[in-house]
Amino acid sequence: MTQIFNFSAGPAVLPRPVLERAQAEMLDWHGSGMSVMEMSHRGKEFMSILAKTEADLRTLMNIPSNYKVLFLQGGAIAENAMIPLNLLGGKAADYAVTGGWSKRSVEDASAYGKINVVASTEADKYTYVPDFSTWTLNKDAAYLHICTNETMSGVEFVDLPNTNGVPIVADMSSHILSREVDVSQYGVIYGGAQKNIGPAGLCIVIVREDLLDHASSLTPAVFNWKTQAENQSMINTPPTYSIYIAGLVFEWLIEQGGVAAIEKVNVAKAKLLYDYIDSTDFYVNHVAVKNRSRMNIPFFLKDESLNDAFLKGAQENGLLQLKGHRAVGGMRASIYNAMPIEGLQALVAYMKAFESKYS
Ligand code: PMP
């Protein structure tokens, strides 16, 4: 059988050893006689899973002790609404629009207060992060929201603007744990799990404690960060099985040498594909080199009439889910932590063969 490589943007590929372990533990977790799916979220077995999962995430990201880690339902899009509800406290907020996801964040947040768009690359089809000197930041903003990796257009931040103390709130859904991050530079980091962490249904919110006192009285209890922080994310039933798999992924990542080690692999993987795209005019990527995402690599065939043939041949070669986001078109290879370098080698080999056949 052809080896399969899954380039889905999310839900996405998970490390094989994690799936194998979940399979082995499916019916009887650690001699408990229960599947994790069957456990009470307040029982000692699941509480131990949750505690280990949080501890491992804290280790991996070096999360300072004055940050809370929340395991919530609702995905990143629910947080788009919950961020203003939890943080605005009657003020306005700044948002940078660098792609489809941060634009969506502005649209969702605007229902809850005054949102100022301080930078936008919409007119340039989201191909770069604008120079920070052009951002019209407000010193009284409750926070600045950014999306540090735009999954659709493949634009990644490599540094942060100086906000003079205004907390930065970052949607890291599609590159969390793929590169080293200094958590202390952020007020809030959040992300849906289904790309670099685990299955869908879990959203992780990492929030600095001093930001927990601004929630509007309209904030639903299950999304009130302070209430959830005080109750170990158990105001409602958390997504227990997704948390368990996330915990296995964190253990796997620690075994790989942690974030610094996987970052090196991620750099090498992305380089393989970008170097090849840059070496030919058969394929093109439009993102400014500095901001090219290491996780989501959109590319276009110069002759777009070949798109269907490209995707069909890719599928036949075991290269799955390469179709670009419907808002962007073309192709997109999402190459999260769990994608082995062999996947990139196979993709580039296929792209070369396709180019020779059609040029
Ligand atoms: N933000 C980013 C950067 C994303 O990639 C996605 C999902 N593709 C979302 C937000 C939305 O996440 P969810 O569907 O989990 O709410």
Residue 53 lies in a domain: yes
**pLDDT one-digit tens code per residue, 300-316:** 999 999 999 999 999 99
CB neighbours of 42 closer than 8 A, spacing ≥ 6? Answer: 234
- Give the residue, out of 107, 151, 202, with the most ligand 1 atoms within 8 A of its beta carbon, to mutate for a pocket test: 151
Evaluate whether residue 7 is within a structural domain: no
Kindly list the protein residues whose Cβ atom lies closer than 6 A to any atom of ligand 1.
10, 75-77, 101, 147, 151, 171, 173-174, 192
Overall average pLDDT of the 235-245 stretch: 97
Residue type for 253, please? L
Tell me the average pLDDT across 42-50: 98
Tell whether 251 and 116 lie within a shared domain. yes
Which of the residues 101, 103, 225, 323 is marked catalytic?
101
Q: What pLDDT score was predicted for residue 39?
A: 98
Asked if 266 and 295 touch (Cβ cutoff 8 Å), the reply is yes
Q: Say whether both 202 and 265 belong to one domain.
A: no
Residues 272, 344 contacting (CB under 8 angstroms): yes
Of the candidates 269, 159, 267, 249, the residue with the CA atom closest to the CA atom of residue 204: 249
Residue in the block written with tokens 């005080």: 230
Dihedral, CA of residue 319, residue 321, residue 323 and residue 328, to nearest 10 = -130
* 159 is an active site residue: no
Q: Are residues 21 and 134 in the same domain?
A: yes
Residues 354 and 248 in one domain: no
pLDDT tens across 323-342, in order? 999 999 999 999 999 999 99
| Averaged pLDDT score across all residues of the chain | 97
Looking at the DSSP bridge assignments, the partners of residue 119 are 96
Domain that holds residue 144: 17-255
How high is the pLDDT of residue 152? 97
Mean pLDDT, residues 84-109 taken together = 98
> Domain for residue 295, yes or no?
yes
For residues 222 and 267, membership in a common domain is answered with: no
CATH code at position 323: 3.90.1150.10
Is residue 235 in some structural domain? yes
Whether residue 4 is contained in a domain is answered as no
- HSE of 69 in the Cβ direction (CA atoms, 13 Å)? 19
Task: Give the domain CATH number at 178.
Answer: 3.40.640.10
Chosen domain end from 202, 221, 255:
255
* Number of neighbours of residue 49 by Cβ within 10 angstroms: 23
Last-in-domain residue among 255, 270, 293: 255
Residues 40-50, mean pLDDT to the nearest whole number: 98
Do both 229 and 283 map to the same domain? no
Same domain, 148 and 281: no
Q: CB neighbours (10 Å) of residue 298?
A: 28
Q: Which residue from 73, 173, 176, 203 has its CB within 8 A of the most atoms of ligand 1, so it is best to mutate? A: 173
| Distance between CA atoms of residues 275 and 266, nearest Å | 14
What is d(CA 91, CA 324) in angstroms, rounded to the nearest whole number?
Answer: 38
Q: Are residues 52 and 174 in the same domain?
A: yes
- Phi and psi dihedrals of 82, rounded to 5? -75, -25
Residue 101 is a catalytic residue: yes
What 8-state DSSP symbol labels residue 147? E
Over range 8-28, report the average pLDDT.
Answer: 98
**How many angstroms separate the alpha carbon of residue 109 from the centre of ligand 1?**
15
- Please state the domain count of the chain: 2
Tell me the helices (H) and strands (E) count for the chain, helix number first: 9, 14
Same-domain pairing of 239 and 275: no
Confidence check: pLDDT of 22 > 80: yes
Q: Is 237 annotated as a binding residue?
A: yes
1 pLDDT more than 90: no
Could you report the per-residue pLDDT of 53-63, keeping only the tens digit for each?
999 999 999 99
The rounded distance, in Å, linking the Cα atoms of 88 and 115 is 10
Structural domain contains residue 6: no
Q: What is the largest CA-CA distance in the chain?
A: 62
Task: Indicate if 195 belongs to the active site.
Answer: yes
E-assigned strands of the chain? 5-6, 67-72, 93-97, 115-120, 144-147, 149-150, 155-156, 168-171, 188-192, 203-208, 283-284, 296-301, 319-320, 331-334
User: Exactly one of 94, 171, 225, 252 is catalytic; which is it?
Assistant: 171
Report the pLDDT value the prediction gives residue 13, as an integer from 0 to 100.
97
**Do residues 107 and 209 both lie within one domain?**
yes
Choose the final residue of a domain: 231, 255, 279.
255
Q: Is 101 annotated as a binding residue?
A: yes
User: Model confidence at 35, in pLDDT bands (50, 70, 90)?
Assistant: very high
Please indicate if the annotation marks 42 as binding a ligand. yes
Portion of the chain with pLDDT greater than 90, in percent:
99
171 is annotated as contributing to ligand binding: yes
* Same domain, residue pair 187 and 288: no
Q: Are 129 and 76 in contact, with CB atoms under 8 Å apart?
A: no
Is 270 inside a domain boundary? yes
Q: What is the pTM of this model?
A: 0.98
Task: Report how far residue 44's alpha carbon sits from residue 41's, in angstroms, rounded to the nearest whole number.
Answer: 8
**Residue 5 placed within a domain:** no
Does pLDDT of 2 surpass 90? no
